[in-house]
Amino acid sequence: MGDSSGSVSIDVERIFFGGKEHRVRTRHGTLSVSVYGDEDKPALITYPDVALNHMSCFQGLFFCPEAASLLLHNFCVYHITPQGHELGAAPISSDVPVPSVDDLADQVADVLDFFSLGAVMCLGVTAGAYVLTLFATKYRERVLGLMLVSPLCKAPSWSEWLYNKVLLNLLYYYGTRGLVKESLLQRYFSMEVRGNGQDPESEIVQACRSLLDERQGANVWRFLQAINRRHDLTESLMKLQCRTLIFVGENSQFHADAVHMTTKLDRRYCALVEVQACGSLVTEEQPHAMLIPMEYFLMGYGLYRPPQQETSPRSTLSLFCISPELLSPESMGVKLKPIKTRISLNV
């Protein structure tokens, strides 16, 4: 049994680090998109939070063997990296206009066109969740489902707007150092893993801290600027018909947004999972908490975790072949009332 689990994790590592990177020219600049898996499979599009890329935002989830077997068995994964957030990126010239959030959503459509993709599944975190939700409201026929982690959906409050303006000024002059770095880590993680005077900082926070050192402050500034100018999606959410699974850490700064979003989506197609003792970045802090809800959610599309023998799924992910009862929240294995899930810290 130990050998089997080891072989899975080694294979996941090979796949995760062995993807093909593409430079995709869009209407609003060139993006880096990393592709992992069999391109004949249905597509899963990911989009990270501010100052992160797929390595720092989704590695924990894909390195969880059970989640990796579920996602990589059923999907070809297309990790979209915000402009200038890829490893080794140069500063973007100040002459290049800062994109709006609508521009960012249109970039996602351009990525789908580049790879000749039809309707896709989406997985986004916080700012990335906002971009993919906006994309779903603008291009409804191109989104089959949304898996959102600590999502934003409203325009920033005055306090968030002012806080981000201070961060933007610090980013402009000092980059992702000092106070900016600490503020970003507070955005992502709960106090339990950030450490305090008694408990040390966890490895995932240390790794993220190191990755933030490599970010170009000017490029992060552009993405945060766009997100700080975002508009309210509440009215558009009511028109969405795709199934939506929302995760939020109970200690997330954006907990209220996630709950608000759940109340505005069609209750027949939406479920909320609240993860205890967790910040916004559930994909890194407690990825195991996402497994069972995702598994039940994807069952509604006829997608399952593989048996021991590998078989290549060729599902079209068509919603039209799903029986009505599978579209109910109960089919996801979760209730509309937030469910508290906890990973034992003693294990």
CATH of the domain at 32: 3.40.50.1820
Put residue 177 in one of left, alpha, beta given phi > 0 → left and psi -120 to 50 → alpha. beta
For residue 55, tell me if it sits in a domain: yes
For residue 137, tell me if it sits in a domain: yes
Q: How far is CA 177 from CA 182, 185, 228, in A?
A: 8, 11, 20
Average pLDDT over residues 50-54: 96
> Model confidence at 16, in pLDDT bands (50, 70, 90)?
low
pLDDT top residue among 346 and 288: 288
- Percentage of the chain beyond pLDDT 70 is 83
- As for how many domains the chain has, the answer is 1
DSSP annotation of 46 reads: E
For residue 288, tell me if it sits in a domain: yes
For residue 279, tell me if it sits in a domain: yes
Q: What is the pLDDT of residue 24?
A: 97
Please write the tens of the pLDDT for every residue from 96-142: 999 999 999 999 999 999 999 999 999 999 999 999 999 999 999 99
For residue 65, tell me if it sits in a domain: yes
Q: What is the pLDDT of residue 294?
A: 96
Please write the tens of the pLDDT for every residue from 295-330: 999 999 999 888 754 444 444 443 333 333 434 444
For residue 332, tell me if it sits in a domain: no
> Model confidence at 338, in pLDDT bands (50, 70, 90)?
very low
For residue 250, tell me if it sits in a domain: yes
* Residue labelled with tokens 């009862």: 325
Mean of all residue pLDDT scores within the chain: 86
Q: What is the pLDDT of residue 247?
A: 97
For residue 73, tell me if it sits in a domain: yes
Domain that holds residue 86: 20-154+232-300
Q: How far is CA 6 from CA 65, 74, 238, 308, in A?
A: 9, 21, 45, 14
Q: What is the pLDDT of residue 315?
A: 41
